[in-house]
């Protein structure tokens, strides 16, 4: 099986300080990777480096078998940033128009909405159960609804992998459960690989098959089951913390 994302000895510095150091991992088609670690441990930095949003100090990144430099098919990678600042919630576009923006990366020349585009957008809105919102603007929506719209915008480009940076922090527990269940469905039923940054270490094991634990260095990357059996990890975290991460994993 071919890796869709590979990082090889990745180091990223801000000025002279290293934010992440010698990070090596591979993500495969169908994976659901839970990415966690303390505040400031470099989680967002890793993701931004993968997406080419930050310069790499050392190491190599490949995307879908190509070097990051030669990779152009960015529609394959959906990204929901930590802050929804990439789209001003006061931007006076309708939900339908915002989701349509997700198709633009695939259009070469004419940026107009075709009948086919309209159908694609409608299908995604139906699947995410937000089609009743399609004429509303983002500012009229709750945090959970806004997140679904941003997810719809990523999905309409038919990505092979979706990357979420702490999507649950703005959500109440109920919307959070629903959002995680939705992501899990996209992974299981649509075969979309997922990288999910989260602080919810107590619940990530219910969804993810792999765990990536960062603390500037890569403390762990591998299967959840192996993490839970690892003596090295129980001496690193202490058996109680390891148990918190593992207790919901089946």
In the complex, which residues of this chain contact ligand ADP (CB under 6 A)? 14, 19, 37, 39-45
d(CA 142, CA 187): 25
**Partner from ligand ADP, Mg ion, none contacting 239, C-beta within 5 to 8 A by type:** none
Residue 172 to residue 99: CA distance in whole angstroms: 24
Residue nearest to Mg ion (CB): 44
Distance of alpha carbon 107 from alpha carbon 157, whole angstroms:
10
Partner from Mg ion, ligand ADP, none contacting 39, C-beta within 5 to 8 A by type: ligand ADP
Least separation in angstroms between CB 44 and ligand ADP: 3
- 176's contact among Mg ion, ligand ADP, none, with CB below 5 to 8 A by partner kind, is none
- Outline where DSSP puts E strands in the chain: 3-14, 17-28, 32-36, 58-63, 66-67, 77-80, 161-165, 193-197, 210-215, 217-223
Min. distance of Cβ 43 from ligand ADP in angstroms?
A: 3
> Residue 108 in 3-state DSSP?
coil
Between residues 36 and 242, which has the closer beta carbon with respect to ligand ADP?
Answer: 36
Least Cβ distance, residue 99 to Mg ion (angstroms): 25
42 binds, among Mg ion, ligand ADP, none (CB under 5 to 8 A by kind): ligand ADP
Separation of alpha carbons 198 and 147, rounded Å: 15
Q: Are strands 210-215 and 161-165 parallel, antiparallel or unpaired?
A: unpaired
The smaller minimum CB distance to Mg ion, of residues 14 and 91, is found at 14
């Amino acid at each position: 099986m071919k890796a869709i994302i590979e990082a090889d000895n990745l180091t990223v510095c801000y000025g002279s300080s290293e934010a992440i150091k010698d990070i090596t991992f591979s993500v495969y088609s169908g994976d659901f990777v839970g990415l966690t670690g303390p505040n400031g441990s470099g989680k967002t930095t890793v993701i931004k480096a993968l997406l080419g949003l930050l310069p790499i100090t050392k190491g190599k990144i490949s995307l879908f078998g190509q070097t990051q430099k030669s990779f152009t098919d960015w529609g394959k990678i959906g990204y929901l940033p930590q802050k929804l600042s990439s789209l001003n919630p006061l931007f006076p576009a309708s939900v339908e128009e915002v989701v349509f923006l997700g198709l633009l990366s695939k259009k070469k020349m004419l940026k107009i909405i075709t009948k086919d585009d309209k159908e694609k957008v409608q299908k995604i809105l139906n699947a995410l159960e937000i089609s009743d919102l399609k004429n509303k603007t983002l500012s009229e929506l709750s945090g959970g609804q806004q997140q679904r719209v941003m997810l719809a915008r990523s999905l309409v480009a038919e990505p092979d992998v979706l990357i979420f940076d702490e999507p649950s922090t703005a959500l109440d527990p109920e919307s959070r459960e629903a959002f995680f269940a939705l992501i899990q469905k996209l992974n299981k039923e649509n075969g979309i690989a997922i990288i999910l940054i989260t602080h919810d270490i107590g619940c990530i094991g219910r969804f993810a098959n792999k765990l990536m634990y960062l603390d500037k260095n890569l403390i762990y990357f591998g299967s959840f089951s192996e993490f839970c059996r690892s003596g090295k990890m129980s001496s690193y975290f202490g058996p109680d913390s390891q148990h918190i991460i593992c207790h919901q994993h089946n």
